[in-house]
């Protein structure tokens, strides 16, 4: 648990993370997970919607009604926010991102849609020796949300904030079923955290 008193001195309000599995990496560069399938949803999924919703909504504070692209085509309220990142030339980019609530088929799973359209995810960290990958959605006190893709090796060897590195590494190493991605959040304002 991060000490709120020390957190008050920083400028990060909360971090949502999700481990990136090999299939997710292909989604980011708009390729199918399964070679011959020719497609596949390019979404980043979060299970435990009942536990994640409140925090994810802080990152996606807007909402609008859309027609669901899959299934029945019924109207659906989706949540919107902006992701901000720096291009290689240092220029800041902001793009609207959409968070879809669960479907009937997956009643406890939300998703950040069309992740392949975000340049911040197309960076391709070296896989050899870099360990596992994590997508971070870092929300600052001013409400802006900055996504990053980072490596387990960097968390272990580079000069990360120790509270953040320890939390993420312990989340990666928490016991879970093989093939399931680690995900969760740490909120420096409320002091809450979740690891799945």
Partner 1 sequence: MTVNFSSECLEVLRALSERRNVLISGPPASGKSRLLAEVALAFEAKFAAPTPSSGPVLVPGAAVPIPDTPPTSSIDPELQKALPSGTRSDRKVFRTVFHQNSKYREFLTGLAPSLSKPGAFEVTNGILFRASEHAKTAKGVSLLIIDEINRGPAVQVFGGAIVAIEPEKRLGADGSAQYGTQYFELLDPTSGQMIEYAFPHHLYILGAMNQADVSVEPLDVAFLRRWAPYSLGPDEAVLRTYFGLTPQTQPMPSSPVNAQDVYEAVVQAWAKVNGRIALGRVREFQIGHGIVMAPSGTAPTDLHEALALATRSWNAIRAHLDEVFFGDMRGLAVALNATGQTAQHPYNLQEVFFGDEPKQQLTGPAYVTPDNVFAILAAVAE
71 alpha-carbon distance from chain centroid: 25
Task: Please tell me the distance from the alpha carbon of residue 99 to that of residue 113, in angstroms, as a whole number.
Answer: 6
CA dihedral sign of residues 188, 169, 156, 1: positive
Considering only CA atoms, which of 50, 42, 115 is closest in space to residue 85?
115
Binding of residue 65 to partner 1 (CB under 8 A):
no
Q: Shortest approach of partner 1 to residue 22 CB, angstroms?
A: 23
Which tokens belong to 93? 């980019």
Nearer to partner 1 (CB atom), residue 7 or residue 181: 7
Q: Is 166 in the site for partner 1 (CB under 8 A)?
A: no
Minimum distance from CB of 48 to partner 1 (Å)? 24
- Number of chain positions touching partner 1 (CB under 8 A): 37
Which of 29, 93, 123, 174 is close enough to bind partner 1 by CB under 8 A? 93
Q: How far apart are the first and last CA of the chain?
A: 15
What residues from 96 to 135 belong to the interface with partner 1 (CB under 8 A)?
Answer: 96
Task: Select 44 or 97, whichever has its Cβ closest to partner 1.
Answer: 97
Is residue 174 part of the contact set for partner 1 (CB under 8 A)? no
Q: How far is the CB of 94 from partner 1 (least distance, A)?
A: 4
- Answer yes or no: are the C-beta atoms of 121 and 28 closer than 8 Å: yes
Q: Is 129 exposed, middle or buried (0-12, 13-18, 19+ CB in 10 A)?
A: exposed
Residues that bind partner 1 in the complex, under the rule CB under 8 A: 2, 6-12, 15, 82, 84-86, 90-96, 136, 138, 140, 142, 144, 146, 148, 150, 154, 158-164, 188
């Amino acid at each position: 648990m991060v000490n709120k008193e020390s957190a008050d001195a920083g400028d990060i309000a909360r971090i949502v993370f999700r481990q990136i599995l090999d299939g997710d990496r292909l989604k980011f560069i708009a390729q199918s997970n399964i070679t011959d399938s020719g497609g596949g949803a390019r979404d980043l999924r979060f299970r435990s919607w009942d536990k994640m919703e409140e925090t994810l909504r802080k990152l996606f504070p807007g909402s609008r009604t859309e027609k669901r692209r899959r299934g029945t085509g019924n109207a659906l309220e989706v949540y919107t926010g902006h992701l901000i990142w720096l291009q290689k030339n240092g220029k800041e980019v902001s793009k609207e991102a959409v968070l879809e609530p669960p479907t009937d088929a997956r009643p406890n799973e939300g998703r950040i849609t069309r992740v392949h359209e975000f340049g911040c995810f197309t960076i391709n960290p070296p896989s050899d020796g870099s360990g596992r990958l994590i997508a971070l959605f870092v929300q600052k006190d001013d409400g802006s949300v900055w996504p990053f893709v980072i490596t387990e090796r960097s968390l272990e060897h580079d000069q990360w904030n120790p509270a953040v590195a320890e939390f993420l590494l312990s989340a990666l190493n928490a016991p879970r079923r093989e093939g399931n991605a680690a995900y969760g959040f740490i909120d420096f304002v409320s002091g809450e955290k979740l690891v799945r």
